[in-house]
Amino acid sequence: MPGFNGEGRHVMTSGSYDFTGYEVLVVGGTRGEGHTVASAFARSGASVTVTGTMMLRALYDTDLTAFDYESVNLARQESIDNLVGTIGHIDVLVLAASCNLPFGLPASEQAFIAEAVRSGLLGPTFLTTRMRLKLSQSPATGGGCVINTGAVAQWLELSSAPEVAQAQLVESTARAGEQWSGLGVRVNSVLQRKRSVLPRQYAPVAASSHGSRLAGDTLVRTQRMSDAVADAALFLASSGASRITGQTLRLG
């Protein structure tokens, strides 16, 4: 397979990654953080498929020409099953689809979906479970790779407070990392660190989304959070992280 040497390792250049030959699925890759992650993998040579809830990619304002596109509704088992059926080979699964339930959904149905998500019968966890055997067939060093983002915690927030949902994601990531290692599948998460809210007069001056600022004698690089998540995802999918599983990276 292109991009892999005789030992199944992919080439990593200084300061960049080469994912040529990789098949990457970014769930929720049509906009925002997911789109940034999908674009980073595509620039690194991967064949990337993104998913959204609309039937056609043309309905999105975002430029999706660099990707294949599939429609999926993570609140519907049949939609998840249909997506799984369309995916052949997969090396990396990135879960970045926020929980956006239909407006005006009856409380009883929302409660049902919340319980199903908590039980792993709907949402990102169900999709990951359905993909595990395909991920286990990846020839990448360390095996197939699952990367959860903060969007997964949003699904858990259907039935839990935000802090509890993040704790649940950290726990489930550790558990899946241990359980799936025998299949040759790594599971890790990337979360933004929760910041305490300071009174306006004590809040730090906002940094620009790019560039740098001087803190004492230290030059601190600043970066958009979505770019930081994309960088973390590239690292976790790389051969340099082939022994890392069950871990949650918190980005400040």
pTM of the model: 0.82
pLDDT at 3: 42
d(CA 101, CA 117) in angstroms, rounded, equals: 12
pLDDT at 2: 41
pLDDT at 223: 54
In a domain, 240, yes or no: yes
pLDDT at 116: 78
Query: Which of 168, 144, 154, 93 lies closest to 123 in space, CA to CA?
Result: 154
d(CA 127, CA 238) in angstroms, rounded, equals: 22
In a domain, 5, yes or no: no
In a domain, 38, yes or no: yes
pLDDT at 122: 82
Give 234-243 pLDDT, tens digit per residue: 999 999 999 9
The structural domain count of the chain equals 1
d(CA 37, CA 95) in angstroms, rounded, equals: 10
In a domain, 115, yes or no: yes
Give 94-135 pLDDT, tens digit per residue: 999 988 776 777 888 878 888 878 778 789 999 999 999 999
In a domain, 127, yes or no: yes
Q: Please name the amino acid found at residue 203.
A: A
Domain holding 69, by residue range, is: 23-196+226-251
pLDDT at 10: 45
In a domain, 212, yes or no: no
In a domain, 81, yes or no: yes
Q: What Cα–Cα distance (Å) separates residue 80 from each residue in 3, 146, 158, 163, 238?
A: 29, 16, 19, 27, 27
Instruction: Please report, for the domain that includes residue 152, its CATH number.
Output: 3.40.50.720
- Segments in the chain below pLDDT 70: 1-15, 102, 194-223
pLDDT at 194: 61
Which residues touch 50 (CB under 8 Å, ≥6 apart)?
25, 26, 27, 28, 29, 30, 34, 35, 38, 64, 67, 68, 69, 70
d(CA 195, CA 147) in angstroms, rounded, equals: 22
In a domain, 171, yes or no: yes
